[in-house]
Amino acid sequence: MKARRVITGAVLLLATAAAAIAFLRPAIRRAPATIEERAEKALRYAGRKGLNVNYCLLLDYGIESGKPRLFVWSFKERRVVYSAHAMHGPGKGSTAVTPVFSNTPGSKCSSVGRFEVTRDRGRRNRSGLRLRGLERSNSKAYGRGIMIHGSKWVDVNKWRRYIPLNEKSCQGCVTVSTRDMAYINRLVGKEKGNLLLWSYYDAASKKESGRCLGILARVQNKFEFSKYAFQGPARPIETFFGEKRIYLHRIQSATGNPTPYPTVLSNGGLCFLRP
């Protein structure tokens, strides 16, 4: 009789645990595995929130800052139509390699989560657009004065593997180059409804980007290779986020010495290098 009670108690305990797991399972959210999957979720979210359903901005802080990591996604074309470099904030021990995120006012840290790109301008930087946080992780963004804005610091340092942190240029904002900000302003100006910006940190992206050296740039139809000799065959042209890129093993100058980083071709083009 005692053994039967023990067995019955164990069965009830297991049933209770199974019911609890089933109840909690919907709350356990799996991070999107691909940018396409994240874009699908972004579209559904934008529709529910009354935001623009033509475009959104996806910012992957897991990618090295020396590579474009802010992507303009077209919901209609279902692909990235523009990419930009983005710098993160220097607060709480952040380094150029590893960002630290915070929602705390005065932390000078970037925040992750979904934002509404408002039409409100900054007090000092009139070309920037203030961001309104839509999640607990970034709920204080608007009060902190967090914006997406351009900076000449990014203009001159985006060719490095990591953009050096600079408190004068970024205190937690989404800081891009002045050229990229001009593009975003044009996009915002022609669209009805505020854009969704979704920033996140994907460790897998960091691991993947670690396989690649150099910088990302659009491949033009013709290159003038007169000043450069190439060690190893050029890889075929591949597609990266909707744009054609070319991958080369390693570039050396005609004298045999490695070219200084970054590698600039004679026509002003840039190459994305893979080890």
pLDDT tens-digit series, residues 51-81 = 999 999 999 999 999 999 999 999 999 999 9
CB-CB neighbours of 227 under 10 Å? 12
Domain with CATH 2.40.440.10 in the chain: 35-209
For the chain, the average pLDDT equals: 74
* pLDDT for the residue 127: 86
DSSP string, 118-129: EEEEPSS-TT-E
CB-CB neighbours of 117 under 10 Å? 24
* pLDDT for the residue 65: 94
Average pLDDT over residues 118-133: 90
The stretches of the chain forming alpha helices (DSSP H) are 2-24, 35-49, 141-144, 152-157, 178-190, 203-209
35-209 has which CATH code?
A: 2.40.440.10
- The yes-or-no verdict on residue 45 having pLDDT over 80 is yes
Q: In which band, very low, low, confident or very high, does the pLDDT at 124 lie, cut at 50, 70 and 90? A: confident
- The yes-or-no verdict on residue 20 having pLDDT over 70 is no
Q: Is the pTM of this model over 0.75?
A: no
Q: What's the rounded Cα separation, in Å, for the pair 12 and 147?
A: 53
Average pLDDT over residues 230-242: 34
* pLDDT for the residue 10: 53
Average pLDDT over residues 95-116: 96
* pLDDT for the residue 218: 32
